[in-house]
């Protein structure tokens, strides 16, 4: 009897493990939607308009009341947009909003005002060029030069691309209203081939003028205006992700479209160290010097780091990568939601993944500024340390403050800890589910409009955005959350991502026409008629081929 029970239990265990392994190793890739045929676009003219936008040095500046270096530059740039995209200004409602009316809110009313609007977000302010670095640029930073397959210039990748591509897409959809084409030609719009598009759901575009310094005067003002009007949004689409041509190592080397479903919060915490000071010829020996206290505080933070947390949307990213990774890695990713595996992967990410991967699973603290001392021969009596903190979803600025307070106590230093208020701190965002209808529609739009040499589209996976976007101002208004993605191609191996905010910022010229097409398809799927939404969902389960641009 005992032998029978042992054999039975062994058989059940073998069957369970075998079934689990079969389930893990035999995962099918999601079926590919049919390619979308993009409407005709005069690519050269569209690129010229984009390049012209880059030529405006629209630098935001937090020290100015209106948050800009030069109002005239912004006003000239806004006038340039009106001239460059006349159909948008003719047919849609364009409002100048924010401090000194330097941001734009553009509204395309839908046919069904009972439906919540879709909001597309971008910004046209840029960070400054580091003084003295201009000579290091291959082409002048505000030239918008088209060369070597790239459009070069500050703001090309962050993120005037989004402003120009969204306006091109809207113009393309509006074009038939002024074309005078025959009615039968107009009907082609129903399958995306051109002609009139009338959204059922209202489409809005919000272009901020101070995103690079927090967005309080631009996006913050637009959000306040929408709130005062009682506007509730269906979904927000902002910047944050891109198509990574070289994949996501070590998981896959095939192209991956990264869609940010959450972003880290932001906090600035000030730590003020105090010391008796004195003459530099007789430094203190009891550890009360500012230098000693700095060392003790740094050691305390190393010994007591922030907690490792592998959570959504990073776990969602890993599970969405399962069909595209090697069979040897699949079991780990497939089971990442299970507590022991989640803990193990989190520790691996933090300890061996490098700084980019480690930041996915931790709230990070970076000492970015130190102010101390009055003379070479005087021991400082005070040092002010500024910590920049990026918070995981679900964490608030007060959590970072309390962590630093505990470190100060453990280090035994004489210090005050203060959260810097005034718009420079906000919590980690909520996580938008990648399992709902909106993410599926966005994935369809991406995979319908991007194809590579092998005829396949990119994998589309959710991820956690490390930086901050204007979407934080709109998130509370959105019923369906926020999706962060810009339809352009980046190659990490070639250093594309590292050039954002840096010398030689650039974006691939071929990405622009594809970006226009992807945004256009997003508008059709997210704001089109109910039948279009249904057909889009159905097309996601069909495979096929068609004629379109290859990357």
Q: Tell me: the pLDDT tens digits for 251-289?
A: 999 999 999 999 999 999 999 999 999 999 999 999 999
pLDDT, residue 546, reads 33
Q: Which pLDDT score is estimated for 24?
A: 54
Longest dimension (CA), the chain: 91
To the nearest 10°, report the CA torsion of 220, 222, 227, 231. Answer: -140
Helix, strand and coil percent figures for the chain, each rounded to 5: 40, 20, 40
Cα 123–Cα 256–Cα 36 angle in degrees, nearest 5: 80
Confidence (pLDDT) at 32: 86
Relative to beta strand 364-372, strand 146-147 is unpaired
Tell me the per-residue pLDDT of 323-347, one tens digit each, with 9 for 90 and over: 999 999 999 999 999 999 999 999 9
pLDDT digits (tens, 9 = 90+) for 522-538: 999 999 854 344 444 34
Those residues whose C-beta lies under 8 Å from the C-beta of residue 347, and which sit 6 or more positions away, are 308
Question: Quick one: which of 419, 353, 352 has its CA closest to 391?
Answer: 419
Percent of residues, the chain, with pLDDT higher than 90? 82
Question: pLDDT value at position 17?
Answer: 52
Residues 173/197, Cβ–Cβ less than 8 Å: yes
**Which is it for strands 382-391 and 265-274: parallel, antiparallel or unpaired?**
antiparallel
- 397, two tokens: 């600025």
Residue 540 scores a pLDDT above 70? no
pLDDT beyond 60 at 515: yes
Write the pLDDT tens digit of every residue in 81-119: 999 999 999 999 999 999 899 999 999 999 999 999 999
CATH 3.40.630.10 maps onto the chain at 43-252+430-449+461-528
Q: Which pLDDT score is estimated for 20?
A: 53
Sequence-separated (6 or more) residues with CB below 8 Å from residue 22: none
Q: For position 186, what pLDDT does the model report?
A: 42
Helix pair angle (437-449, 530-539), 10° resolution: 70
Q: Is the pLDDT of residue 7 over 50?
A: no
Euclidean distance between CA atoms 426 and 220, whole angstroms: 13
How many residues are given for the chain?
A: 551
Query: Which pLDDT band holds residue 26 (cuts at 50, 70, 90)?
Result: low
Q: Which residues are CB-contacts of 523 (< 8 A; sequence separation ≥ 6)?
A: 118, 120, 169, 170, 173, 197, 199, 203
Q: What is the pLDDT of residues 383-433, one digit of tens each?
A: 999 999 999 999 999 999 999 999 999 999 999 999 998 777 999 999 999
For residue 189, is pLDDT > 50?
Answer: no
Per-residue pLDDT reduced to its tens digit, 490-506: 999 999 999 999 999 99
The sign of the torsion formed by the CA atoms of 139, 145, 151, 153 equals positive
Q: Which residue has the higher pLDDT, 175 or 413?
A: 413
Question: How sure is the predictor about 177, in pLDDT bands with cuts at 50, 70 and 90?
Answer: low
Which three-class secondary structure state does DSSP give residue 281?
coil
- State the pairing for strand pair 235-238/203-208: unpaired
Give the tokens for residue 196.
């009139």
3-state secondary structure of 245: coil
Q: In 334-353, which positions are buried (b, 16+ CB within 10 angstroms) versus exposed (e)? A: bbbeeeebbeebbeebbeeb
What is the rounded distance in angstroms from the CA atom of residue 548 to the CA atom of residue 285? 73
Give pLDDT, residue 529.
Answer: 52
* Radius of gyration, CA atoms only, the chain: 26
Give yes or no for a cis peptide into 126 (omega within 30° of 0): no
In the DSSP assignment, the letter for residue 459 is E
Instruction: Encode burial over 295-331: b for 16+ CB neighbours within 10 A, e otherwise.
Output: ebbeebbeeeebebbbbbbbbbbbbbbbebbeeebbb
Half-sphere exposure of residue 158, counting CA atoms within 13 Å on the CB side?
25
pLDDT at 427 (0 to 100): 96
Query: What is d(CA 519, CA 237) in angstroms, rounded to the nearest whole number?
Result: 10
d(CA 201, CA 116): 7
Highest CATH level, class, for 263-419: alpha beta
Query: Once rounded to an integer, what is the mean pLDDT over residues 301-315?
Result: 97
Name the pLDDT band for 143 (thresholds 50, 70, 90): very high
Measure the CA angle with vertex 179, ends 175 and 184; round to 5°.
100
Q: What is the mean pLDDT of the chain?
A: 90
* The CATH homologous superfamily of the domain defined by 43-252+430-449+461-528: Zn peptidases (3.40.630.10)
Residue range 241-252: average pLDDT? Answer: 95
Asked if residue 447 lies in contact with residue 521, where contact means CB atoms within 8 angstroms, the answer is no
Query: Residue 495 pairs with which residues in a beta bridge?
Result: none
Q: Is 257 within 8 Å of 518 (Cβ atoms)?
A: no
- Alpha-carbon distance 215 to 130, whole Å? 21
To the question of pTM greater than 0.75 for the whole model, the response is: yes
Q: Where in the chain is the domain with CATH 3.30.70.360?
A: 263-419
How do residues 449-490 score in pLDDT, each as one tens digit? 999 999 999 999 999 999 999 999 999 999 999 999 999 999
What pLDDT does residue 99 have?
A: 87
């Amino acid at each position: 009897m005992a032998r029978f029970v042992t054999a039975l239990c062994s058989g059940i265990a073998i069957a369970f493990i075998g079934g689990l392994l079969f389930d893990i190793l035999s995962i099918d890739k999601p079926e590919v939607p049919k390619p979308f045929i993009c409407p005709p676009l005069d690519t050269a003219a569209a690129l010229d308009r984009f390049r012209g936008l880059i030529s405006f040095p629209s630098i935001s500046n937090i020290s100015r009341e209106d948050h800009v270096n030069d109002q005239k530059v912004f006003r000239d740039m806004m006038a340039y947009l009106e001239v460059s995209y006349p159909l948008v200004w003719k047919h849609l409602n364009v409002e100048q909003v924010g401090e000194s009316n330097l941001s734009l809110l553009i509204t395309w009313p839908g046919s069904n005002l009972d439906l919540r609007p879709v909001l597309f977000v971008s910004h046209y302010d840029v960070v400054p060029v580091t003084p003295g670095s201009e000579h290091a640029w291959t082409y002048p930073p505000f030239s918008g030069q088209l060369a070597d397959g790239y459009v070069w210039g500050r703001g090309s990748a962050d993120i005037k691309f989004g402003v120009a591509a969204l306006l091109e897409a809207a113009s393309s959809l509006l074009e038939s209203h002024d074309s005078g084409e025959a009615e039968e030609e107009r009907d082609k719009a129903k399958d995306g081939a051109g002609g009139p598009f009338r959204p059922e759901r209202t489409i809005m575009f919000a272009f901020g003028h101070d995103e690079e310094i927090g967005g309080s005067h631009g996006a913050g003002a637009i959000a306040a205006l929408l709130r005062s009007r009682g506007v509730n949004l269906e979904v927000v689409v902002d910047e944050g992700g891109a198509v990574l041509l070289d994949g996501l190592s070590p998981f896959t080397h095939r192209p991956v479209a990264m869609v940010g479903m959450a972003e880290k919060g932001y906090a600035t915490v000030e730590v003020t160290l105090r010391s008796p000071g004195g003459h530099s010829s007789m430094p203190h020996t009891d550890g009360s010097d500012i230098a000693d206290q700095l060392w003790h505080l740094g050691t305390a933070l190393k010994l007591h780091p922030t907690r490792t947390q592998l959570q959504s949307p990073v776990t969602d990213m890993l599970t969405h990568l399962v069909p595209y990774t090697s069979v040897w890695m699949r079991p780990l990713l497939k089971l990442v939601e299970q507590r022991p595996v989640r803990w193990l992967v989190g520790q691996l990410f933090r300890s061996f993944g490098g700084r980019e991967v480690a930041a996915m699973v931790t709230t990070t603290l970076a000492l970015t500024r130190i102010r101390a001392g009055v003379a070479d021969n005087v021991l400082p009596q005070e040092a002010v340390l500024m910590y920049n903190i990026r918070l995981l979803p679900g964490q608030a600025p007060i959590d970072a403050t309390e962590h630093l307070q505990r470190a100060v106590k453990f280090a035994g230093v004489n210090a005050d800890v203060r959260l810097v208020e005034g718009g420079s701190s906000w919590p980690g965002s909520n996580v938008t589910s990648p399992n709902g209808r909106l993410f599926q529609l966005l994935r369809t739009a991406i995979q319908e409009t991007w194809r590579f040499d092998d005829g396949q589209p990119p994998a589309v996976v959710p991820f956690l955005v490390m930086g901050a976007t204007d979407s934080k101002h709109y998130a509370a208004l959105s019923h369906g959350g926020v999706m962060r993605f810009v339809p352009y191609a980046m190659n990490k191996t070639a250093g594309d991502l590292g050039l954002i905010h840096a010398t030689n910022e650039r974006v691939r010229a071929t990405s622009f026409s594809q970006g226009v097409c992807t945004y256009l398809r997003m508008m059709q799927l997210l704001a089109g008629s109910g039948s279009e939404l249904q057909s889009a969902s159905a097309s996601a389960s069909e495979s096929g081929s068609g004629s379109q641009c290859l990357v």
